[in-house]
Amino acid sequence: MRKGLQIFFVVFGLTAIAIALLHVVLGPSAIPGSVPVNATMDSEDRFYATLFGAYGVALLWCVKDIERKSRVVYFLLAAFFVGGLARLLSVWAVGPPNGFFVAMTVLELVIPIVAALVQSKIPSNNAPLDRRVP
For 118-129, what is the mean pLDDT? 75
> Is 80 within 8 Å of 112 (Cβ atoms)?
yes
Classified as helix, coil or strand, 32 is: coil
Flag whether pLDDT at 134 surpasses 50: no
**Domain limits of the chain?**
2-123
The residue that leads in pLDDT, 132 or 82, is: 82
For 12-27, what is the mean pLDDT? 97
pLDDT interval class at 130 (50, 70, 90) = very low
Q: Count the neighbouring beta carbons within 10 Å of the beta carbon of residue 46.
A: 17
Looking at the whole model, is its pTM more than 0.95? no
pLDDT in tens, 54-109: 999 999 999 999 999 999 999 999 999 999 999 999 999 999 999 999 999 999 99
Q: Name which of 23-27, 43-47, 100-104, 125-129 the model is least confident about.
A: 125-129
Residues in the chain: 134
Q: Half-sphere exposure (CA, 13 Å, Cβ side) for 71?
A: 3
> Is 97 within 8 Å of 35 (Cβ atoms)?
no
pLDDT interval class at 13 (50, 70, 90) = very high
Closest C-alpha to 83, from 57, 48, 115, 118: 48
At residue 98, what are phi and psi to the nearest 5 degrees?
-50, 145
Cα 114 to its chain centre, rounded Å, is 13
Mean pLDDT of the residues in the chain: 92
> Residue 124: what pLDDT?
78
DSSP strands (E only) in the chain = none
Closest C-alpha to 15, from 57, 64, 78, 76: 57
